[in-house]
């Protein structure tokens, strides 16, 4: 097969959308608008999604998306990704997946863990800034909040020069209200764990005000607090995000396109947990 030109024989094809995943995504997609100009038939949404996943997994540039795969042109997939992100498809899909996990009692609300990772930005654009760890070159940060098992609850994008603590409250606010069990939907963990980058008494008070206990390492205190026993799950999740080659470097000038990739990757990681635990 032609796909064999792009991957090794022992590797799977993660960009092929399974029937089970498509059954979750298809009802969330917006109806296509009327065709204004006669021309080629519209590329089916499922094939376009395969093209988007191919770019996400391989990191290939849009214009080099192989036409032999039958996923449509790179520009078609780019437009479809932008439209679906604007319609909130990935946020709604993420909530559907979290609801399945909660219904199976597989979300660990006993604690949540927060951290961030820096990625180089190939082009300057919104939500990029001079990196403090890369000689002031343009960069961005992925801010991630996970449950006690490492399942992503909220993700955001900022410039590389933003302090981690400034995203603490926005990330908590982004946790969706997750139904799935009898009673009220849940959106607050019992405890929030963070490293020294989140050490600020003002934010501790704000977290307490949300009914969440902050357990955050303090600056100037010797290492050995024991938080690493629980914090490693967020570092593993960050590694999962960076397993998608398109997220290792921010190639997009437009922040909404990179955020769309982040949202899609969040859904894929959460879906893996649904397959494993539910």
Of 143, 136, 153, 122, nearest to 254 by C-alpha is 122
Phi, psi of 158 (to 5 degrees): -140, 175
According to CATH, the topology of domain 108-253 is: Nucleotidyltransferase; domain 5 (3.30.420)
pLDDT band, very low/low/confident/very high, at 192 (cuts 50, 70, 90):
very high
Q: What is the pLDDT of residue 6?
A: 38
Give residue 2's pLDDT band: very low, low, confident or very high (50, 70, 90).
Answer: very low
Mean pLDDT throughout 192-220? 93
* Burial class of 89 by CB neighbour count within 10 A (0 to 12, 13 to 18, 19+): buried
Q: For residue 239, what are the contacts with CB-CB under 8 A and spacing of at least 6?
A: none
| pLDDT at site 91 | 97
Q: Which residues pair with 214 in a beta bridge?
A: 192
Q: Quote the pLDDT of residue 1.
A: 34
Contacts of 58 (CB under 8 A, 6+ apart): 6, 15, 245, 246
CA–CA distances in Å: residue 236 to residues 24, 94, 150, 196: 26, 19, 7, 18
Confidence of residue 227 (pLDDT cuts 50, 70, 90): low
Whole-number pLDDT of residue 34: 74
| Per-residue pLDDT reduced to its tens digit, 47-80 | 999 999 999 999 999 999 999 999 999 999 999 9
**Stretch 14-25: mean pLDDT:** 96
């Amino acid at each position: 097969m032609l796909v064999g030109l792009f991957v090794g024989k022992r590797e799977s094809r993660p960009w092929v959308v399974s029937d089970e995943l498509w059954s979750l995504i298809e009802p969330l997609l917006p109806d296509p608008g009327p065709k204004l100009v006669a021309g080629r038939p519209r590329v089916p949404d499922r094939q376009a999604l395969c093209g988007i996943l191919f770019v996400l997994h391989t990191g290939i540039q849009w214009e080099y998306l192989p036409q032999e795969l039958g996923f449509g042109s790179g520009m078609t997939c780019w437009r479809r990704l932008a439209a679906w992100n604007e319609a909130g498809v990935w946020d709604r899909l993420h909530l559907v997946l979290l609801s399945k996990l909660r219904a199976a009692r597989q979300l660990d609300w006993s604690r949540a863990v927060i951290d961030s990772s820096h990625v180089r930005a190939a082009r300057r654009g919104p939500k990029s800034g001079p990196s403090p760890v890369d000689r002031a070159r343009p960069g961005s940060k992925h801010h991630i909040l996970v449950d006690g098992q490492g399942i992503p609850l909220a993700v955001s994008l900022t410039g590389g020069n933003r302090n981690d603590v400034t995203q603490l409250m926005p990330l908590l606010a982004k946790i969706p209200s997750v139904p799935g069990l009898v009673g009220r939907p849940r959106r607050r963990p019992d405890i929030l764990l963070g490293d020294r980058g989140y050490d600020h008494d003002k934010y501790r008070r704000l977290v307490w005000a949300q009914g969440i206990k902050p357990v955050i390492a303090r600056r100037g205190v010797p290492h050995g607090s024991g938080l690493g026993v629980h914090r490693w799950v967020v570092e593993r999740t960050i590694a999962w995000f960076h397993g998608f080659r398109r997220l290792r470097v921010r190639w997009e000038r437009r922040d909404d396109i990179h955020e769309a990739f982040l949202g899609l990757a969040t859904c894929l990681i959460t879906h893996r947990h649904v397959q494993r635990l539910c």
